Chain A
Amino acid sequence: MIISYGFCERESYGFINYLNLDYNFNIRIINEATKPSSEWFYYKINADYDQKRLIVLNNINTIKFLNSDNVNVLFENKNLGIFKVVIRVKNCFLLEKLSD
């Protein structure tokens, strides 16, 4: 899977798998390197989206660092709010929301 989809490149399956999250909720994934979304790797049918967590893969412009721990997320001209960096591997991030 990692050979085909990359670790923190292309669809970044490796990073998503590495997070080893409990998937009772779906997690919104923003991927700047490729479309379509990489959400399908762990997509749970009919489950709600996690309102707190967000995964950003292959970040280029989505994340603006406020300090070493906190970031502001801007995606498609929309400010998604301030997030705390929970896990970071290269340019792939698991974020948790602090405020709107």
Chain B
Amino acid sequence: VIELLNLILQLLVFIWIFSFPLNTFGSNSFFYQKKLSIYDKYSINIIFWITIYLILSFFLISLKFVFIINLILPLFFVFYKKIEIKNINNTFLVFLLINLSLFSVIASDIKLEWDGQAGWIYRVLNFYQGFSFENLKNVPADSNYPHLGSYLWAFFWKNSLFDHEYTGRLIFVFIFLLSIFSIFNPKKITDYESFILIFLIIFLSYDKYLFSGYQEYLTFSFLIFFFKLFFLERKNLFLFLIMLMAGNALMWFKNEGLVFFCILILSFFIKKPFLQKKNILLFFLACLLILNKVIIFNYFNDNFYLGWSGYKSVSLNNLFNFDRLFERTLPIIISILVGCFKYPIIIIFLLLYFFSCIHKKRIHFDSYIIFFILNTALIFYIYYFTTYNNWKVFMSQAVDRLLFQTMGIYIFYIKEQLKFFRLKIKF
């Protein structure tokens, strides 16, 4: 019972602290006048706070102090009577219940898996024990791995009722579910079609192993947030900045996040001419954020790389080697296909895309998704093709997880394409 109360309290903490700066339980916002769903507002607030956490992680500021500020700020809406209960729709209760169910699954088996125990937990302990980013070079894990997910984990572990590390990981579940709900945005409890799809997507993308200390769900969710903001409103400066913040967070969760961020930024220019004021600004700001990461890592760690320590690529002289081409191409393709079957959302996406091509029913954003997939596949291929040694081991351990991270984007397509095919489920 106490454990359950702890989970409920943790959920209430997420609901409360991320109800600021956009009033999730109020009417339209000062920053954005159009109607945003409660899930969109929570997504924006989380992106905002995670950017703040990222900045704070470079300084020696107590996690408890930050948490207290987090708790105080939403009181503004209470004092100024900005909270309207009628704005809480009953779909939100379903969202909360699913959160609690998944929290319980994690609480029932708290074991950390390999990457969690070997690397991420030490970075979490660094923040949990009151150190900042600068000290990460002194912990046993690879200092070139990004740290934002570890900071989040440590933050909610430190500020939980129970002193158990798993309470810090519950935020990953909350963000994951929020990202799924923000795609479908169910408006009322009788929106059966959305709920069936939500449950289906959760069922197909839930992987307990990845909640056991891995950071993949953060990349998965933030790719969704980024993609959603990309299409939500392109003229609003506030959302434009939030979108960039989401892209920036991607780079600080995992190293491959930087690759995804670059591909997404480039995809902006598929249909839009580069020489547009806003596109130039986007390109400039994205370069600035990437440069910022490179400079910070070079300053604190004396080096910056995308892989891991010990990673070595083949020399340029040996790059165009036909033996390697024959040796590696087929295993890489097979490995990607196996990964696709492990996470069937990709298969569903491919089937729908295949049908849409046959029926010539294209979606306005499918060129962005195809651009993203082709580039991601190409980068996976180049990565494993050029890895000097142990490439089979690296590939067997990571391809499915790399694919998993990109899965969120295909869900947009699945949703739109199902709408397009007018798949109506009658009750």
Contact = CB atoms under 8 A, between A and B. Distances in A.
A43 B125 contact: yes
- Classify chain A's interface size: 10 to 19
A4 B113 CA distance: 11
Given A40-B121, A44-B129, A1 B138 contact: no
A35 B118 CA distance: 8
A43 B111 CA distance: 17
Contacts of B129: 44-45
Q: Kindly name the residue among A35, A39, A45, A46 whose own CB sees the greatest number of chain B CB atoms within 10 A.
A: A45
B126 A45 contact: yes
Interface in B119-140: 121-122, 125-126, 129, 131, 135, 138-140
Contact of B110 (A4, A39, A46): A4
Main SS at interface, chain A: loop
A45 B114 contact: no
Interface of B: 109-111, 114, 117-118, 121-122, 125-126, 129, 131, 135, 138-140, 164
Interface string A22-49: 0000000000000111011001111000
Contacts, number: 34
Interface string A1-29: 10111000001000000000000000000
B138 A45 contact: yes
A31 to B, nearest CB: 11
Contact of B125 (A4, A35, A40): A40
Contacts of A5: 111
Contact of A4 (B111, B135, B140): B111
Interface of A: 1, 3-5, 11, 35-37, 39-40, 43-46
Contact of A46 (B117, B121, B138): B138
Contact of B117 (A3, A40, A45): A40
Given A36-B117, A36-B118, A40-B117, A45 B110 contact: no
Contacts of A37: 117
8 contacts: A1-B164, A35-B114, A40-B122, A40-B125, A43-B122, A45-B126, A45-B138, A46-B138
What 9 A-B pairs have minimum CB-CB distances, sorted nearest first?
A36-B118, A4-B111, A36-B117, A40-B121, A45-B129, A4-B110, A45-B126, A45-B125, A45-B131
Contacts of B110: 1, 4
Contacts of B117: 11, 36-37, 40
A43 B129 CA distance: 10
B102 to A, nearest CB: 17
Contacts of B140: 39, 43
Nearest to B128: A45
Nearest to A5: B111
Given A39-B140, A45-B122, A45-B126, 12 more contacts: A3-B109, A5-B111, A35-B114, A35-B118, A37-B117, A40-B117, A40-B122, A43-B122, A43-B125, A45-B129, A45-B135, A45-B139
A58 B164 CA distance: 25
Nearest to A47: B129
Contacts of A43: 122, 125, 140
A5 B129 CA distance: 22
A11 to B, nearest CB: 8
Nearest to B138: A46
A46 B122 contact: no
Nearest to B119: A36
Contacts of B138: 45-46
Nearest to A34: B117
Contacts of B122: 40, 43, 45
Contacts of B126: 45
Given A4-B109, A44-B129, A45-B129, A36 B135 contact: no
